[in-house]
């Protein structure tokens, strides 16, 4: 049996002519115009991300320039002449391709300088293609300067790089720079679907979309992924691709995101462990969470989706979440996730680090944002989306920490809290009295005299943490982290999680006011006592001003 060497798709389907370059029409138009008008520069620098066609374009330009059968009014190479054939087979001695990643020294550049003055042997122009040119050393760049500025007439330099900023300005100024952009998702989808059919495979649109997204604008990456997938099955579905690429399903990632925002540490860690058992990449998972935050934020800002390839299921979920989260909460979450993602890539134990990141986000999601801490209230008109759907929403944004809740009237507040206002006040008084009994006299005195209770929500199935809303009705200046200290003290007393926040709503009464009212009622009641009445009649202008319980000592 004859052994056939397999050629990967990325090499097999490389563009043979400029018209085959998908997604790089602007760069190709510049090259065509330069060739037709005989204004081809002596040095070009092709820049762009990985896999967008920099080296392929350089080889194609070499072929066009040296084609023996090309007419002056044509741009594309014939592909059949001796030069085209030898360049395609990489056997033309006048086309010198140098990998600057492995040949970085000044001695390697000196070889170019010594040979550049020799006339081409078979080609019309001698061409030097230097790939990853930014990897050259400083001495190598300096040695190349003069030759690059004034090369012989029959020499053409074609440089390619992914990191233009690492190339000296003196080199950049001697080249014409052409930037190859990332290839759009729709072009990648079209190309990989076309190649799949040629290879005899059926690729559904949702599978092509997933591959295109994972490629991140790189045609080579897209074809490499496709190559890997086509080995496994004839008919490729989305689930198969997710398993091969270790990508988690959208519904599972969105569930993780929701649990993080709820501050549910237990459920969050359970989901992370499930992802780990399935062998999913934590870096991909972090990227997916970042993308979810980005899409929700973008929808809240624009009220539409610019990406046409987001599925209906994803759009529906993003719209739903956009109603529940405020922009400052999303921005804070995105910034923290970005920080954690950068650290994740260098972590010794990625699973451990990812779990710690999720725990941190769970706790952060229950803390007020700086805006909430400062104002205590959101202006709904400024923060909610201006669309038909949002106009019908009654959004409660005051002191929101993660999920917004529907506003509740005084009538149904009792049901939402699970206890009536008298019970709320009793519970609050009990907590502050415990605080005072534990020795925190200054803090308890400040709370009793300067703050009114707005609402108190105890722990239940819906609320995994207790919530206390207070009104600073005397507008006293709080010390740094004073509410945080109160929260920690209450947690120590109850052994449960609590969150204390300020509200601009009117509270019911302060503890000091309640105690004073109770004192006045007690005085009024005791003043009606017959014995006390007689005593007051005996002593002119007398009245009861306080009541004290006398404890008999044994």
User: Quick one: average pLDDT of 536-551?
Assistant: 76
Is 552 a residue whose pLDDT tops 70? no
Q: Which residue did the predictor score with more confidence, 194 or 497? A: 194
- The torsion angles phi and psi of 170, rounded to 5 degrees, stand at -65, -30
Residue 532 in tokens: 């006390």
> What burial letters (b/e) apply to 209-248, b meaning 16+ CB within 10 Å?
bbbbbbbbbbbbbbbbbbbebbeeeeebebeebbeebebb
Task: Answer for the pair 385, 300: CB distance below 8 angstroms, yes or no.
Answer: yes
User: Quick one: average pLDDT of 473-483?
Assistant: 74
CA distance 309 to 205: 10
Q: Which residue did the predictor score with more confidence, 150 or 503? A: 150
Per the prediction, the chain carries an average pLDDT of: 82
Q: Which residue did the predictor score with more confidence, 189 or 415? A: 189
Is 374 a residue whose pLDDT tops 70? no
Q: Which residue did the predictor score with more confidence, 273 or 542? A: 273
> Length of the chain in residues, anyone?
554
Q: What is the pLDDT of residue 65?
A: 92
| pLDDT cut 70: percent of the chain above it | 86
* 13-43 pLDDT, tens digit each: 999 889 888 888 999 999 999 999 989 999 9
Q: What is the pLDDT of residue 373?
A: 58
Task: Answer for the pair 254, 353: CB distance below 8 angstroms, yes or no.
Answer: no
- Assign domain 9-179 to its CATH architecture: 3-Layer(aba) Sandwich (3.40)
Is 412 a residue whose pLDDT tops 80? no
As annotated, the residues of the chain forming the CATH 3.30.300 domain(s) are 422-508
The DSSP symbol for 44 reads E
CA distance 280 to 266: 20
Q: What is the pLDDT of residue 95?
A: 92
CA distance 397 to 405: 8
User: Quick one: average pLDDT of 401-408?
Assistant: 40
As annotated, the residues of the chain forming the CATH 1.10.8.60 domain(s) are 185-245
* 212-262 pLDDT, tens digit each: 888 888 999 999 999 888 887 666 778 888 888 878 888 889 999 999 998
CA distance 359 to 266: 9
As annotated, the residues of the chain forming the CATH 1.20.272.10 domain(s) are 250-371
CA distance 461 to 497: 14
Q: What is the pLDDT of residue 213?
A: 86
Q: What is the pLDDT of residue 233?
A: 67
466-471/452-457 β-pairing:
antiparallel
CA distance 355 to 361: 10
Name the class of domain 250-371. mainly alpha
Lowest-pLDDT range of 165-179, 257-271, 382-396? 382-396
Which of the listed CATH numbers 3.30.43, 3.40.50, 3.30.300, 3.30.250 matches domain 422-508? 3.30.300
CA distance 310 to 316: 10
3-state secondary structure 216-240: CCCHHHHHHHHHHHHCCCCECCHHH
The fold adopted by the segment(s) 185-245 is Helicase, Ruva Protein; domain 3 (1.10.8)
CA distance 144 to 157: 11
């Amino acid at each position: 049996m004859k052994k056939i060497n397999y050629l990967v798709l990325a090499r097999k389907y490389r563009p043979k002519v400029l018209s085959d370059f998908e997604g790089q029409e602007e760069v190709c138009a510049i090259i065509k115009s330069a060739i037709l008008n005989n204004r081809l520069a002596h040095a070009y620098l092709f820049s762009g991300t990985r896999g967008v066609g920099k080296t392929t374009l350089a080889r194609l330009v070499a072929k066009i320039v040296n084609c023996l059968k090309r007419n002056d009014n044509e741009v594309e190479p014939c592909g059949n002449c001796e030069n085209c054939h030898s360049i395609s087979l990489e056997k033309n001695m006048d086309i010198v391709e140098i990998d600057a990643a492995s040949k970085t020294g000044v001695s390697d550049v000196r070889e170019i300088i010594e040979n550049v003055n020799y006339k081409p042997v078979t080609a019309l122009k001698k061409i030097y293609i230097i790939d990853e040119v930014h990897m050259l050393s400083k001495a190598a760049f300096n040695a190349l300067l003069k030759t690059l500025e004034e090369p012989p007439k029959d020499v053409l330099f074609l440089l390619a790089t992914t990191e233009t900023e690492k190339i000296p300005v003196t080199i950049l100024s001697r080249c014409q720079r052409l930037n190859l952009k990332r290839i759009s998702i729709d072009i990648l989808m079209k190309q990989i679907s076309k190649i799949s059919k040629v290879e005899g495979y059926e690729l559904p649109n949702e599978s092509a979309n997933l591959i295109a997204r994972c490629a991140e604008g790189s045609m080579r990456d897209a074809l490499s992924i496709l190559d890997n997938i086509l080995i496994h099955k004839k008919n490729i579905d989305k689930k198969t691709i997710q398993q091969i690429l270790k990508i988690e399903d959208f519904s599972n990632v969105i569930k993780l995101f929701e649990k993080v925002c709820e501050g549910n540490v237990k459920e969050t860690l359970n989901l992370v462990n499930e992802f780990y058992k399935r062998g999913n990449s934590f870096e991909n998972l972090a990227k997916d969470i970042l993308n979810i935050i980005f899409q929700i934020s973008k929808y809240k800002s624009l009220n539409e989706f610019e990406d046409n390839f987001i599925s209906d299921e994803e759009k529906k979920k993003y719209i739903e979440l956009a109603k529940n989260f405020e922009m400052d909460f999303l921005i804070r979450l995105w910034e923290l996730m970005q920080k954690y993602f950068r650290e994740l890539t260098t972590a010794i134990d990625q699973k451990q680090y990812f779990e710690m990141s999720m725990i941190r986000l769970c706790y952060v999601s229950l803390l007020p944002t700086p805006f909430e801490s400062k104002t205590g209230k959101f202006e709904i008109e400024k923060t909610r989306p201006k669309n038909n759907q949002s106009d019908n929403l009654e959004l409660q944004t005051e002191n929101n920490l993660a999920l917004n809740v529907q506003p509740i009237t005084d009538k149904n507040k009792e049901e939402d809290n699970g206890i009536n206002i008298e019970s709320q006040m009793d519970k609050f008084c009990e907590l502050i009295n415990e605080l005072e009994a534990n020795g925190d006299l200054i803090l308890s005195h400040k709370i009793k005299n300067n703050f009114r209770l707005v609402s108190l929500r105890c722990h239940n199935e819906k609320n995994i943490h207790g919530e206390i809303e207070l009104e600073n009705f005397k507008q006293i200046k709080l010390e740094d982290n004073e509410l945080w200290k109160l929260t920690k003290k209450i947690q120590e007393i109850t052994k449960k999680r609590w969150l204390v926040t300020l509200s601009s709503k009117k509270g019911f009464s302060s503890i000091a006011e309640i105690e004073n009212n109770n004192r006045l009622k007690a005085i009024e009641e005791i003043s009606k006592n017959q014995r006390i009445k007689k005593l007051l009649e005996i002593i002119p202008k007398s009245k009861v001003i306080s009541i004290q319980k006398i404890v008999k000592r044994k």
